[in-house]
Amino acid sequence: MSEERSLSDLSDDEWRDRLSEEEYNILRERGTEPKFSGDLLENTEDGTYACAGCGAPLFASDTKFDSKSGWPSFYDAIEDAVVFETDTRHGMTRTEVSCARCDGHLGHVFEDGPDPTGERYCINSVALAFDPED
């Protein structure tokens, strides 16, 4: 069985065993970490940001920028790494971003980012693992 298939079959209890409480809250329950609290917010190293739930590569470090929003921000995702869904929670309509491999909630994407895409992927630091370049 492939890793992708096995991840889609994990029960809530298996996800709880695999993730920390904070990771579970964000990735599986669509939570949000407090502004300016994430470990990767200030990271400027070269490398790849991956899903903390399954390890799938999501964002290249050269697409990260300081949006001053309080969460790591990227202007583009790795091709086919994320999926989108309309999120109408909290009295607003936003576009939710999830990992394409494990469906873990990452954050939201907005249309107020820099060139070349004009997008701002506002991503929870807890939802990410950083893999530095060698």
- Check 54, 99, 102, 122 and give the catalytic one: 122
Residue 123 one-letter amino acid? I
99 is catalytic: no
CB 131 within 8 A of CB 47: yes
Six-digit token string for 51: 């899903």
CA distance 107 to 30: 8
**Catalytic residue numbers, as ranges:** 122
